[in-house]
Amino acid sequence: MKKLLWIVLSWIFSIALSVWFASAASSDCLNVKFYNWDSACLGLTKNWSKNFEISIDKNNLEKGSSVRCYIILPNNTMYSFNGCRGSFYYGWTSTEDVIVSATYVTRNWNFYSKRMSTDINFNKWTWTSSSNNSNSSSSSSKNSDEIELSTNRKSPSTSQHVNLIIKTDKNYTGRLSLSAKYRSSSSSSWSSISNTSSTYFSDYSDEWDDGYYKMKSSDDGEITLKNLVKFKKNGYYRIYVEDTDGNESYIQFSVGNADDDDYVSSNVNGFSTKQLNIVKKVYKEWDNLIWQMQRKYPSLKRDTYWVKLSDNFYNDMKDVINNKKYRDFSDYDDFQDAFNDWYKYTMRNI
């Protein structure tokens, strides 16, 4: 039954979820620290030419818990590793950006996730974003876990604003500098771009125009910059946020590419072709998944809240597929959030 849950979850993780950040511990392993302060350090080795293996070198996780890792390579290939252990292939041999996500379920069915962007040196098969102390829970200044970034949409069209949610230390009241980089879908290199460039941006906020936001004590370490910017040119964007101590984090956006189903708009507003196909796949399997779970866990049949939650999610997916004008899921982020709510409640109650 858990295998069925992981299959559905892997579909959801195939598109970027809310961004989570972790810190890199050393070049020997990559430290992922969850919000409950449990942690795991991911090792990286090379089996043979261009084949690499990921594993957990050391961890501070509950006994009886489970963990799964996802790695998205620079060519957008994604691998999923149960127990954060497995092999993958990558044809390049330089230092490249990758995205690592870890999903951690404790024995009490608490659900935690972390997501981070880091570098792998594929020549030396080491994590290159690191500090010098392998036992340290903090990261280097360029990969700080003191700044957490999230957004209302990771794959916007050129007609959509993006919001940026920034979380820092609750006592921080300094400036947060905003900057950006861009790369086209056909390139592997990132270029710094001006915040006010009319080639890349349109209709941006005062904060984006000024290039910074000043955190106030009343913000209590969290601020949402609404309608921060519209991306004007197709491709990939990174928005960087840096504090006065040099701690920096970034969040990545993918803006529509007419040659890629990941970003081609479907007939349903708010969903790309690929995103809509994921909704259809989950919708198709949903009745069978619910039936199997109720068969395996009879208590779920008597859990009226779970039944309602499951039925509502099914009906909301149906409204998306039928392109209803008034629907609860206005875009793919709403779909992801609803699934996460259902999943976390389910795992706590079986």
Q: Which residues pair with 1 in a beta bridge?
A: none
| CATH number (domain holding residue 222) | 2.60.40.10
Residue 208 has which token pair? 């984006």
End-of-domain residue from the set 137, 168, 198:
137
With a cut of 90, say whether residue 101 has pLDDT above it: no
Q: Is 264 part of any domain? A: no
Q: What is the structure's pLDDT at 20? A: 28
Looking at the fold, whether 226 and 303 belong to one and the same domain comes out as no
Looking at the fold, whether 207 and 307 belong to one and the same domain comes out as no
pLDDT in tens, 292-306: 888 888 899 888 889
pLDDT higher at 346 or 261: 346
Looking at the fold, whether 209 and 246 belong to one and the same domain comes out as yes
Res. 207 pLDDT band, cuts 50 70 90:
very high
Q: What is the structure's pLDDT at 258? A: 40
Q: How many domains does the chain have?
A: 3
Res. 105 pLDDT band, cuts 50 70 90:
confident
| CATH number (domain holding residue 65) | 2.60.40
Q: Is 10 part of any domain? A: no
Euclidean distance between CA atoms 310 and 111, whole angstroms: 18
pLDDT higher at 92 or 156: 156
Q: What is the structure's pLDDT at 259? A: 44
Res. 43 pLDDT band, cuts 50 70 90:
confident
Looking at the fold, whether 236 and 290 belong to one and the same domain comes out as no
Range of the domain at 292: 273-348
With a cut of 50, say whether residue 133 has pLDDT above it: no
Looking at the fold, whether 251 and 340 belong to one and the same domain comes out as no
Backbone angles phi, psi at 279, to 5 degrees: -60, -45
Q: Is 267 part of any domain? A: no
Cβ burial 158-180 (10 Å sphere, 16+ → b, else e)? eebbbebbbbbeeebeeebebbb
Q: What is the structure's pLDDT at 176? A: 92
Angle at 296 between CA 295 and CA 302, to 5 degrees: 65
Q: Is 289 part of any domain? A: yes
Looking at the fold, whether 180 and 225 belong to one and the same domain comes out as yes
End-of-domain residue from the set 255, 286, 312:
255
Q: Is 315 part of any domain? A: yes
Q: Which residues pair with 103 in a beta bridge?
A: 68, 113
Q: What is the structure's pLDDT at 128? A: 65
Looking at the fold, whether 234 and 294 belong to one and the same domain comes out as no
pLDDT in tens, 176-187: 999 999 988 777
pLDDT higher at 221 or 124: 221
With a cut of 50, say whether residue 189 has pLDDT above it: yes
Q: Is 297 part of any domain? A: yes
Q: Is 184 part of any domain? A: yes
Looking at the fold, whether 76 and 158 belong to one and the same domain comes out as no
CB atoms within 10 A of CB 296: 12
Looking at the fold, whether 131 and 148 belong to one and the same domain comes out as no
End-of-domain residue from the set 137, 170, 201:
137
pLDDT in tens, 232-289: 998 889 999 988 877 778 888 888 754 455 555 678 887 878 788 889 999 999 998 8
CB atoms within 10 A of CB 327: 18
Backbone angles phi, psi at 68, to 5 degrees: -135, 140
Euclidean distance between CA atoms 298 and 108, whole angstroms: 18
Q: In sequence order, what DSSP letters do the residues of 98-150 get, joined into one string?
A: EEEEEEEE-TT--EEEEEEEEEEETTTTEE-S--S-TT-SS--GGG-SS-EEE
Q: What is the structure's pLDDT at 19? A: 26
Euclidean distance between CA atoms 158 and 202, whole angstroms: 9
Looking at the fold, whether 39 and 133 belong to one and the same domain comes out as yes
Q: Is 262 part of any domain? A: no
Give the type of residue at 249. Answer: S
Q: Which residues pair with 127 in a beta bridge?
A: 120
Looking at the fold, whether 55 and 116 belong to one and the same domain comes out as yes
Which residue has tokens 């990174």? 238
pLDDT in tens, 16-42: 232 222 232 233 688 888 766 788 888
Say how many residues make up the chain.
Answer: 350
Looking at the fold, whether 250 and 171 belong to one and the same domain comes out as yes
CA-based nearest residue to 272, from 5, 6, 77, 14:
14
